[in-house]
Structure 1
């Protein structure tokens, strides 16, 4: 063992050093110091097992020395060398962790020997306890690493093992992630132990990935938010500026372990998706609920803008939607679903067959695998801009009246549309409108309407299980015989033949 002695009286220092070395030749007096500052530096350098220190010393007194060592977590087994009138410091010294007091004026070799023997006994017990604790930590880590595999099922043996290792205390699981670099597990354990020692609660750390550690922590019934914030702030205070911390709910039994781990993992993925740091617990993660219906209404409105061919507005609105996503942080699965559905609707409803060949649906599916809102935004806006380029390049330049007629047909093709109705809509004579439409599109109005209805019918036959009659009704032709006749004329197949071949 290493021993440091601090006293401003030279005779005391020499007597102590001589007798310690005489009585315990196996121990080392690492330093003798004449003031508290010297003693502090020596304790930092030599990390002694035992410290003898006077209270009243120049430069830095004994109490200030003890406070500093305790703050730094380097306070050894401490014995105060005191005078009669130093006992006024006794209560404060005991709070700081002082183990014994020796009266300098009455100290003898036998008393010094007994004092060091008591220190040896205490330190040996502490060392044994540390070994037991280290062994238990190893067992808990091994249990967690094995148990959290997906293929592990709970057995009576596992339940008993968990009860032996943990007991009946409440716990939570936290995931600590560092976005920028690999975690130093020794440092993680050192910081978490430092935090939980003050609270007198258990904690075990397991490295899950290079940049992710799992913390199994004892917790009070309603303490998760306060506890996770406290741990996070402790890591920040030790210079870890890019970490995030996510906790599941509270559990008590072995059956809760996997569920709470998955909760912490979902909170961590959610936080990573929105590129946030700090603390975000599972209790704050939004699940798809009524907000899903609100967002669906919003996206239907966006599809109407595409019907109006207002592409610049569509792109601006999508940018605003992503800004809202970042602010409101809805369920990430909902966000991916809405955007994939939206892109596919544009693909099927606004591009013709030739235009669709320029794209791959497999590429659109990557939307559902995006790991961050930034990646998702990039993909969606790229697809939308590509759609706009294709549509603008292939769309003929029509007069305002013809554009209005085409838009009216696209929005009302399910209804019984007449030439008179269209002429009234654009405030034109129907004969002139019919002539103008044929001149610009090379189709008469009714042919254009019928072709548009057939395109919609093809899509319904491919994507739904609607009957031929129902399909006809949905595209504005409720007479099934007439619908089948015009469909065959348009495609060369009956509706049923077309469905079978696609």
Structure 2
């Protein structure tokens, strides 16, 4: 999923290139256009850009000046200069500032498209997996990251807020690059899948690779990465001095700009983890930076959101939520104890399976745990430990998805959380299984309801605003979701891409207006959101085999 912006002070060139790139289907593109450098700057301040095609000579803000502003906002953006001038000084300045390509306008469409594909390919090759893993191996040899991790976890898990001077001293002692007296933006992540039979060391190594990917894309920020369970990690983010983060009127950091940058880079982090490390990750980001004293509460909000998810519950990028406090796990070791300990060590992975609705995986673990202690004396300590570990997992899910009073009574809670409520171990296990079945059923129904509601909401908005700009960014703002994730989720649910649905809806409205109204074709073009009458005519003929005028005349004849 790439964002492309086309910038030129000659509208005919911008419109022509816009139509040219509309015909590219092997790369998923969201295309923006601007008729000046100033207009382009307004767009890139709101939207992450991957590739920019821009003229050099423009009034007010030149292409070279625009290049500097783009790179300061989106360092990974590739700049392709398109100009009518072959002056070597332009080329020299463009290349010195990191331009991806320099093309003369007279060279034609093929050269421009080739430069686009070259830039897109370089983006995909930007990070080398082998180098990331080698870097991760070196980092694992050092003790400092472990000390940083333990201290940051202490900060967010402690019930007592640490005094500012103590926090400053610890940050300096552990070489934590964050500012102890400044708010922090938090992102929680979850690895959705591991390779089969992967060792703990390999998982830790991959989490270090995820850290390196995160640091690469968020290089404009102060960043601390903490892996806090077998499949979860956190990012603590603050603006650094290399970017222009200041709201000069307010005299403080522009939090919206920071959040926009981080949200834009989360998609790159997720895509790189999938492409280079072959693991899918889900991410949840706080809506704004919080003081360190409130970091623990924000952590719980994001944990809850990450547990709820949407769609299949994988590769999500969401904003803000709540989560119950984490619980400690206690285990023992010998005979039955040894087997039970081995089973209960998997509890974090099982919790992830429970969150993601993976019934088969959960019940396999459930059966293993309950069978290990089935032949012990009734309600001995081992059975109690096994029972309450499972019951706590189920209670956490109940709190996350929410059972109303009619569905979940005090008696249900007693039966779940008091093993003595049951006359035998078999009865107790049966109650746990019945509860788990109900929770899986409710979670699946809730997920289906929420995703159906999302599709209806998006479709309704599209139909009500067909005459307006319907970019992926605008739709994602209405859905409170990351643009790329919304695009994937919509296609996953409906089987149709958002751009396809919008085009079909516009065509259906256009056909209706041509049949039943006397509006001029150029007015129908505006009413259905097409850029120009020529573009509308070309797409309409491609869609129906007829020009708009031929379509209208045909239906007038049919009516006669």
* Shared fold, TM over 0.5: no
TM-score in terms of structure 1 length: 0.33
TM-score in terms of structure 2 length: 0.30
RCO (CA 8 Å, sep 6+): is it higher in 1 or 2?
2
Structure in which a larger fraction of residues adopt helix: 1
Greater C-alpha Rg? 1
